[in-house]
Amino acid sequence: MVQMHLVAWIDEIREEVRSHFVKVARHAAQIQRPTAGQVSGGQARYSDFAIETCLTLGLIFHRPLRQTQGFVRSLLKLMGLDLPVPDILTLSRRAKGLAVEDSRSKSTGPITLIVDSTGLKVHRSSGWHETKHGTGKSRRSWRKLDIGYDPDSGEVVASMLTTDYVGDETALPELIAGSESPVARFLADGAYDGTGVSNCLTGALGSDVEVIIPPPLNAVTGLSDRRDAHIEHIATHGRMAWQSKTGYNNRALVEAQIGCRKTVIGPGLNAREMGRQFTENKIAIKSLNRMTRLGRADFKRVA
């Protein structure tokens, strides 16, 4: 039986956390500075940094906007900062279309891109009379989240939030473009096996990219040379041997990242309007990537 030993880099993680809060304290004064280039009319009182900070704290600690306002006010008081706090209406209004700064790690070379998708629940309660008399239909709906994961950095390098009827093949071109890095290997599950995905990958990544997608059990050759090679290897050596040879088992990492998102952030979306849901998703992905950079578990094989 294989045993793994967890090596915790406690001192490094503590130093990263301390440095982060020092940075937050230095930039706290920006909470009432509007961004440059305001148009005529009403001027923004709070910067995008202030709004993003408040929304991030509310999302991480699972607080509604009103409770987030009080939470931020208490934090500023503890820090000895006499600064105003955005109210609930300001947070809600500014969340739509908020420019969330990208803080992904910059890749120095081609990456391995692992793609998967999941559903996020959006629940809207019905009116009182509909609940009482049973005349209302369920207001529960779903959003589809596609993510691209880099196993080397441990970060989500691309994400796309769509309605639940947008297919994986439809979302793939924009997802690949969002990674903003050259891709050497592409991993995905069997849902991405098809002519459309194959043509998309060739057009976006070139013919030299290594594509690792498991063909179905009844797959036939003829779609592409690389797919034919996978089919022949599985027929000769078995699917488990193919997974081990190609590294397909690494696809479990993106599933773990999806599980992390639903555990840390939540299984659904708090915002009800699509524009605000886009912002919520960007902040969620940015927060998860920041947590990853604070420290990753390091396992060593001991037996």
- 228-255, pLDDT tens digit by residue? 899 999 999 999 999 999 999 999 999 9
Instruction: Please say whether the beta carbons of 285 and 103 come within 8 A.
Output: no
**Predicted pLDDT of residue 198:** 87
Which helix H or strand E contains 51, and what residues bound it? helix 48-60
Which of 46, 47, 66 lies closest to 58 in space, CA to CA? 66
- 3-class DSSP state of 122: strand
Beta bridge partners of 144: 119, 162
**Is pLDDT larger for residue 73 or for residue 42?**
73
Per-residue pLDDT for 14 more than 50? yes
**The CA-based dihedral angle spanning residues 234, 239, 241, 247, taken in that order and rounded to the nearest 10 degrees:** 100
> Of 4-8, 178-182, 200-204, which gets the smallest average pLDDT?
4-8
Q: What is the pLDDT of residue 85?
A: 87
Residue 106: predicted pLDDT? 78
The pTM of the full predicted model, rounded to 2 decimals, is 0.81
Distances (CA, A) of 90 to 34, 60, 87, 184: 13, 19, 5, 44
Q: End-to-end CA distance of the chain: give it in Å, rounded.
A: 7
**Cβ atoms of 280 and 270 closer than 8 Å:** yes
Beta bridge partners of 142: 121
Q: Which of 75, 90, 98 is nearest to 28 (CA)?
A: 75
User: Residue 1: pLDDT band by 50, 70, 90 thresholds?
Assistant: very low
Three-class SS of residue 248?
Answer: helix
Nearest residue to 192 via CA among 114, 254, 257, 255: 114
The whole-number pLDDT of residue 128 equals 46
Hunting for tokens 């690792």 — which residue is that?
212
Percent of the chain at pLDDT > 90 equals 38
Write down the pLDDT at residue 42: 63
| DSSP element (H, E) containing 112 | strand 111-122
How far is the C-alpha of 176 from the C-alpha of 140, rounded, in Å? 30
- pLDDT at 261 > cutoff 60: yes
Domains delineated in the chain:
4-95 (no CATH), 111-277 (3.30.420)
Residue-level pLDDT at 6: 47
- What's the mean pLDDT when you consider all of the chain? 82
How many helices and strands, by DSSP H and E, does the chain display? 11, 7
Asked whether the predicted pLDDT for residue 79 surpasses 80, the reply is no
pLDDT at 259: 93
pLDDT of 29 above 50: yes
Mean pLDDT of 219-235: 86
Element (H, E) at 160: strand 155-163
